Structure 1
Amino acid sequence: MVSQNPNPDENFDWTAAEHDMSAEVVDLDAARTTRRPETHFEVTLDEQPQRGGQPVDPPPVDASGLRPIVPANWRGWVNIRHSLADLATLTGYRAAFHVVRAPWYLLLTVFWSLVGVFRLANRQLRWWWVAEQYGLRQGAADANDPAMWLKLHREVKSTRSWRGFILVAELLTLAIGGPIVYALAPAWVLALAGALAVAYLAHIGRPEDRRIITPATVSGRFRRVNPDIILRAYYAAGLGHPDKAHQQIAFGSTMARDPSGTGSQVSIDLPYGKTFDDAVKARGAIASGLDVAMSQVFITRDPSSHRRHVLWVADRDPLAQGAGRTPLLRCKPTDIWQPAPFGLDERGNKVCVDLLWNSILIGAQPRQGKTFAARLLALYAALDPYVKLTVLDGGGKPDWRKFALVADRCAFGLAMTRDGDPAEIVLEALREIKADVQDRYERLSKLPVDVCPEGKLTREIARDPKYRMPVRLVFLDEFQEYFDLGDISKEIASLLVYLVKVAPAAGVGFVDATQRPSGIGSGQVAQQFVSFRDNHQVRFSLRTGSWQVSDLVMGSGAYSEGHDSSTLLPSYKGVGILRGASDHTPTVRTYLADADDAEKILIAARKLREAAGTLTGMAAGEDIAREARDVLADVRSVIERGESGAQWEEIAARLAGRLPEAYADITAESISAQVRAFGVRSVDVKRAGKALKGAKTDDIDAAIRRRNAA
């Protein structure tokens, strides 16, 4: 058994200068057989992580695994200028800080130098008198050993003689040499010698805890970590037992300093039967055992074993510092087929999110950065001129207004505007997107295999205008508002559920944000709200009010896996837990893009779209409110996917229910006449064994193609 340090506080290092944490791999079996009391395993730390230790190696900078020769902050004139400016600012601050305090420093130096004269004299006298031998002579006297006492006495007399000779020589040198040097030496030599002498005497005179020069900046203090403390933490968390066979914690690697110098990391082997999930659930107890904040403890899965993981303990809270401005401020074109930069994880690694093929849910309490996080992804999509954007904000906040520069369709709030009723715009936009998705699947299935492998959208198809299938992204902020609007919410809810399930595979993605992930609507609308919320593949939860709400945002089971966004501090703005984007579930500090940044990026995005000829819809000044209904498109939109056709009575009923503003009084005869006017045949369509007149889906699609071609 590995012995514990009986006084763990001895491992507590409050000095700012010591940044080395240490440990060695502990062989538990060997330690059991060679146990010594009052020991622990604190040794010199490897300055760099051991190569070959896969679990604790830093992730590669790029695919080659090579670190850059020139650091990023010194590459390029812009970075060099910024780094030099930071250095100059810091140096100027420190100089000003010390200049203001220089008179006080001088006064303290003179005072402590006078104290230093007496302390130096006292040291010299104690050195001459050999005061340290007094204890030995007293011990000989107490032991009634006169021979030893006489031997020590003779030794001390001899030592005092030659030490006294040295002190006399020292005094004569100062008494004779001092005036000579003062008379012959240049003034600058005298000044330098005097300054050095005063500084030396002040150093001797001041107490150890009284600094003369106060630091302008203060380094943080951190907890010193060693294997004894780690073992104590894991055993206290119930992840093993030090006295039971096969229940000891083992180390799978040497503890090493993180390459960034911000913490320590080590590979932990749990006892057989304990899992990575057990460690994640016990993260709070482990932090308590280490006597650090929970936000400083991070546990990463090891792919080689489910009982092994990497423990990383940060020197200080890594989430308290922002990730900085978004790299999108370069205003360069982006590619939606590449992941969007989202922020930095707890260890400073870049985190990116795939917008294509995914539906992303963002949830949080108000004013925790939810809208900023969603808008960050929207700005990335806006800079790809071939992406068609739909921006719908149920809250009507100013954050999204500038997206009118690039969005094909947009609606803000719920109050009536010059563009019309926002709720109607939302409904119309969702209907159009549904019809587009259905049409995409139909056309993709008919494209040649060499053009469309496996019937899926490709980058070439999405960017070729002849196919009319650009990548589309829909951004819904405060989407809960659209589920609580009365009758119109029924169709909106139905459309959203259909689209979040079906649309991503057709190249139509959703990014949806809410501050109320439950308790919206009633009856069928409430069920559809839950279905819509639960059909997002990627979840990002900023701070929430409870673990139950956190589980609603991140998905069922997140809390049992140790992920709880309610533990994030209120001061963490733009910090959340990202689940489902990769094999890991990192805590992400999102990049910042404020209102001015967003406007700059969107102006650049509009120019890119104008140059590419892809500006459409509201951004291009088009009036999307249709005075005359597109009958063929409306009929096609009410025929569900997988149906080969529909009877005229069905079509009339569906149009009246879903588009009451235009088809409230429609009849089977009237809709039949309008559709047949486009060359669509009226044929028998069977429903529940009964055949009635109606229209075939293929005939309607053919009529739409003929009309578009004309």
Structure 2
Amino acid sequence: MTDRPTDFDTLTEPPPHPDTDPDSPTGPDGQGAEVVDLDAARADRVQYGTLPPAPDAPPVFDTSYEVALDEPDDDADADADADAEASPVPVDPPEPARLESEHGEKRSPIIPTGLRWGNLPATVRRTAGRVAYVAGFHAVRAPWYALQAVWWAIVGVPKLAGRQLRWWWVNEQYILLQQAATDNDPAMWLKLHKEGKATRRWRGIALFFQLIALGIAVLVAVGADLAPVWWAVIAAALIPPLAAYGRPAGRRIIPTAMVSRRYRLLNSDVVLRAYYAAGLGHPDKPNQQVKFGSRLSRDAAGIGSEVLVDLPYGKTFEDAVKARGAIASGLDVTVQQVYLTRDATSNRRHMLFVADRDPLAVPAGRTPLLDGKPRNIWQPAPFGLDERGRRVDLLLLWISILVGAQPRKGKTFAARLLALYAAMDPYVRLTVVDGKDSPDWRKFALIAHRIIFGTMPNRDGDPIEMLLDALREIKAHIQQVNQFLSTLPVTECPDGKLTEELSRKYPNLRVWVLVMEEFQVYYELDDQETNKEIAALLSFIMAVGPSAGVIILSSSQKPGGVGAGDVQRLFNRYRDNHAVRFALKCGNRNVSDAILGGDAYSEGFDASSLPVGKQYRGVGYLYGASDDTPTVRTYLADAADAEKILTAARALRERAGTLTGYAAGQTMAREVRDVLADALSAFQGGSETGLPWTVLAARLAERIPEHYADLTADAISAQLRALGVPSVDVKRDGKALKGAKKAAITAAIDRRQNSAG
């Protein structure tokens, strides 16, 4: 440690990341998001002597200090960093390097953390992966290394000869001779001259015999007609030292496979500067100094630094939250690297965590559901990683979840990730309602009890009537579950509540997941009575459903300003009563407040302030799942991943015999083709009034390949014109193209129904 460092820009290597087991649990089972408790991690460090305990009166550390870091190890650190960045894994808090016995002495653990039984497989995988990568990296470049080595060996021969000549001529004596001449000391000069002549004599003799020996060795090797393998051995013995001698200083022939990342060195002076610059105290005013409740140290995961900060009396945690951007500026880091955690002992104390680099820009990786193993809805679902790289799990039971964001910020992917977890439990029934009629939820037809798309009639029927039937069915299920539970004996249902055993034993007590993608469209229908009925049913399910095992998963890009009168009131009630909210990047603070709730902003959570960029897709605040509000980077499950997971989910349900409803009849081929209804279903939302023939043909081929796989624009044009739909000009991307109007298709359907009646 050093005292009072002043250069914040000093660069240092990070300590190696601890070896951890990626399959280890992140915490005890329970409701809400599960992350490693910060207070518990600090308590562990206090217990094992790596952090001093906080007494009743918090200690004050006035001396500035730096965090002591290990010496850099390029290959080890770089490979560890590359592994962590390429495939993030859930981690447990690492055990301290030393344990404290009952007598107070420090003891190193007998078996290192990375070599313990639970962590050994991960250590072996990491080591093998590192060795394989480094070997492959250098194997590809081996010919280039050989060429460089030969060249620098050739350069090294005259360079070595020159050094030998300088050694023979005793060049190092020149300074002494010059000093004797400068001091006008002839006796010393003559003495040095005689010693130099004598030294050159015997060194010359040594070089003469060295040259004779070298010449004899060359003649013997040439005359002996050695096999090529022996010449290779001689070259392998001579080229490396000659190349090492011939290459320029500071130039490596074989570079490192990876480069270690570097980060700013954080010290207490910098922290104080940041807080004072943010207006959270003053160093010269009485009782306005910022102090520390602990020493600055590395966090449990080794990805940043943390310290307990005591604000001046009268300053609160909320003041620090509001000044988070100014604190980040004072620390000279991005705001995404600064995180504040409330301390339970005082409203003016909090934990400051500063990440070495932007943690939100590091992807969480692919979803663990890709292993195809069955899941249990009664256990937490893996959702992503928080800002400290800890896995965030979310228990879906007994809650309702609202996901909101701007378009293309990861909203649908986040909601679908939780629905995929429910799908992997074969004893969970799913009803999927997609108001935006997108391809994102199409593959859920493999397992869904009911699946509904859009608001316009399609080949499967009228989506609005189907939605009403689905909501009425769930309402009846809720009532039936509550009545059935009341009839069970106390020995089987002691608390009168749904349990895992009961849901497995009785098919009528299955957990039910209702997915409402872009649910706001069903509050804005043309028929106000239908709006009211849908709103009333959703409000009932929201209020009563969770206790009966009905999980609501809602998503919306328009969480406010929907409907009017009773519809608006019911919409707001439905939106506001979600127990858990996940807000990704929002357009403004009002939208963020509508998703997270009004109290979130005062606590420092504004989804409109989340960073923008492709690397930040899937990043959002998980609010209401636990006492903490982690900033979560969700796992990724793209369309191909979702199809793979849902295919495995269907196989699990077929094996368990739990396929019901729509999915149970999914394998039946569609025998009748209704061109008019199919064409009408190709229109997306209410904004499309017409489609060119090329677009219409492409959409039908994508959505209904069993009938329209080879459909062309001319073919669909001919079929619809034969049914009374005229070919007219349709504007598309600023151009007028031939196509069909939605109104014309609807009129043709009405004419057919009237004629049939």
TM-score, structure 2 length as denominator?
A: 0.66
SS in 2 for 1:557: helix
Q: Are residues 1:369 and 2:417 paired?
A: no
Distance 1:420 1:557, change over 3 A: same
- CA deviation after TM superposition for structure 1 residue 423, in Å: 1.6
From 553, 567, 571, the equivalent of 1:525 is 567
Deviations 1:279-298 (A, max 9, x none): 33322222212212222223
Q: Are residues 1:481 and 2:521 paired?
A: yes
Matches of 1:501 and 1:291, distance apart in 2: 47
Partner of 2:451: 410
Matches of residues 192-591 of structure 1 in structure 2 within 5 Å?
Answer: 192-193=237-238, 195-202=240-247, 205-206=248-249, 208=250, 213-258=254-299, 260-465=301-506, 468-487=508-527, 488-566=530-608, 567-571=610-614, 572-591=616-635
- CA deviation after TM superposition for structure 1 residue 88, in Å: 3.1
SS in 1 for 2:598: coil
Deviations 1:444-494 (A, max 9, x none): 34544333334322222222227x222111011111111111222221122
Is the Cα contact below 8 Å between 1:386 and 1:470 reproduced in 2?
yes
Partner of 2:116: 69
Partner of 1:177: 210
- CA deviation after TM superposition for structure 1 residue 87, in Å: 5.1
Matches of residues 633-644 of structure 1 in structure 2 within 5 Å?
Answer: none
Matches of 1:217 and 1:30, distance apart in 2: 42
Q: Are residues 1:597 and 2:637 paired?
A: no
Which residue identity does 1:578 align to in structure 2?
L
Deviations 1:254-312 (A, max 9, x none): 33334544333333333333333333332222221221222222333334444333333
Is the Cα contact below 8 Å between 1:110 and 1:198 reproduced in 2?
yes
Deviations 1:642-695 (A, max 9, x none): xxxxxxxxxxxxxxxxxxxxxxxxxxxxxxxxxxxxxxxxxxxxxxxxxxxxxx
- CA deviation after TM superposition for structure 1 residue 224, in Å: 1.8
Distance 1:115 1:458, change over 3 A: same
- CA deviation after TM superposition for structure 1 residue 512, in Å: 0.6
- CA deviation after TM superposition for structure 1 residue 71, in Å: 6.4
Is the Cα contact below 8 Å between 1:372 and 1:594 reproduced in 2?
yes
Matches of residues 102-141 of structure 1 in structure 2 within 5 Å?
Answer: 103=147, 107=151, 128=173
- CA deviation after TM superposition for structure 1 residue 397, in Å: 1.1
Is the Cα contact below 8 Å between 1:265 and 1:311 reproduced in 2?
yes
Partner of 2:659: 615
SS in 2 for 1:606: helix
- CA deviation after TM superposition for structure 1 residue 199, in Å: 0.9
Is the Cα contact below 8 Å between 2:67 and 2:297 reproduced in 1?
no
- CA deviation after TM superposition for structure 1 residue 83, in Å: 7.8
SS in 2 for 1:494: helix
Matches of residues 45-124 of structure 1 in structure 2 within 5 Å?
Answer: 45=69, 69-70=116-117, 74=121, 84=128, 88-89=132-133, 91-97=135-141, 99-100=143-144, 103=147, 107=151
TM-score, structure 1 length as denominator?
A: 0.70
Matches of residues 676-695 of structure 1 in structure 2 within 5 Å?
Answer: none
Matches of 2:60 and 2:617, distance apart in 1: 48
SS in 1 for 2:384: strand
Matches of 2:327 and 2:520, distance apart in 1: 38
Structure 1: which 5+ residue stretches go unaligned?
54-65, 138-148, 624-710
Is the Cα contact below 8 Å between 1:129 and 1:160 reproduced in 2?
no
Distance 1:598 1:90, change over 3 A: farther
Partner of 1:12: 10
Distance 1:603 1:180, change over 3 A: same
- CA deviation after TM superposition for structure 1 residue 399, in Å: 1.5
Is the Cα contact below 8 Å between 1:49 and 1:258 reproduced in 2?
no
Is the Cα contact below 8 Å between 1:113 and 1:199 reproduced in 2?
no
Deviations 1:389-446 (A, max 9, x none): 1111111111111112221111012232232111211111112222322333344345
SS in 1 for 2:633: strand
Structure 2: which 5+ residue stretches go unaligned?
18-49, 72-94, 101-112, 222-230, 668-757
Matches of 1:238 and 1:560, distance apart in 2: 18
Matches of 2:327 and 2:468, distance apart in 1: 50
Deviations 1:40-73 (A, max 9, x none): 53363489857799xxxxxxxxxxxx98824668
Q: Which one scores higher on RCO, CA 8 angstroms, separation ≥ 6?
A: 2
Distance 1:113 1:375, change over 3 A: farther
Is the Cα contact below 8 Å between 2:584 and 2:607 reproduced in 1?
yes
Matches of 2:96 and 2:495, distance apart in 1: 45
